[in-house]
Each structure stands twice: as structure tokens, then as C-alpha cells.
Amino acid sequence: MHFEIVYFHHRVEAEIESWPVGILADYARLAELLMEFGPDLKMPHSKAMGKGLFELRASGREGIGRAMYCFVVGKRVVILHAFIKKTRKTSERDLRLARKRMKEVLNG
């Protein structure tokens, strides 16, 4: 049984679709792996960010993209937030937003 990927909001999906072609291609490959392996997908593809939050680590010639996600009941993955990474460290603002959305998803 594979995992299903859903998006927190259509804007999250639109953000990913706006990524440069190389990063987008890597995201598509990683999304396939995520659907196949779920929580068993590990570094370098996926990284646990703590308390049930994960990041999908896409990259291409143009840079680095991150899609923050969590798992919900019923083999579903919710992509909570996505962005093109500008610095080495993920910003607190991006982490806060992803965690806030995760709370909404998990608590209804």
C-alpha cells in the first residue's frame, strides 16, 4: 500500500509548481519515493525536523527546494509548506509556519 500525497492548501502546490525545472524534477522523483517508502524514507532524501515534522530535500542546478510535511492517519502525507532555500539553515519563520499548519492538520 502506497502513501497518498495531499497539499495543505492549493498555494503550497502552486509554490512547488513554480520552482525551477531542475528542482521540480527532483521534487517529483522524491515525491514518488515518499509515496513508496513513507516514513522509511531517510537522508539524504528526507530529514526529520522533530515532533513529527519532516522535510523533503529537493535540489537541482538552480538551487535547493524544501517541502515540509507530516503524516496523518490513513497513509496520507500532507505537504504543509514549500520554499526555495536561500541560506544554509532553514529559517525559523519557515519552521514556525510548517509547525502551525501541522497542528491544524492533526487537531482538525
3-state secondary structure the chain: CCCEEEECCHHHHHHHHCCCHHHHHHHHHHHHHHHHHHHHCCCCCEEEEECCEEEEEEEECCEEEEEEEEEECCCEEEEEEEEEECCCCCCHHHHHHHHHHHHHHHHC
The predicted pLDDT at position 66 comes to 98
* C-alpha separations of 32 from 35, 38, 66, 108 in Å: 5, 10, 15, 27
The residue-averaged pLDDT of 60-68 equals 97
Taken in order 51, 11, 64, 79, the sign of the CA dihedral is positive
**What's the pTM value of the predicted model, to 2 decimals?**
0.95
The predicted pLDDT at position 1 comes to 63
For 29-54, write each residue's pLDDT tens digit: 999 999 999 999 999 999 999 999 99
Q: What is the mean pLDDT of the chain?
A: 96
The predicted pLDDT at position 70 comes to 98
For 75-95, write each residue's pLDDT tens digit: 999 999 999 998 889 999 999
- Is the pLDDT higher at 102 or at 88? 102
Domains of the chain: 4-107 (3.30.2310.20)
> Rounded CA gap, 44 and 16, in Å?
19
The predicted pLDDT at position 61 comes to 96
The predicted pLDDT at position 73 comes to 87
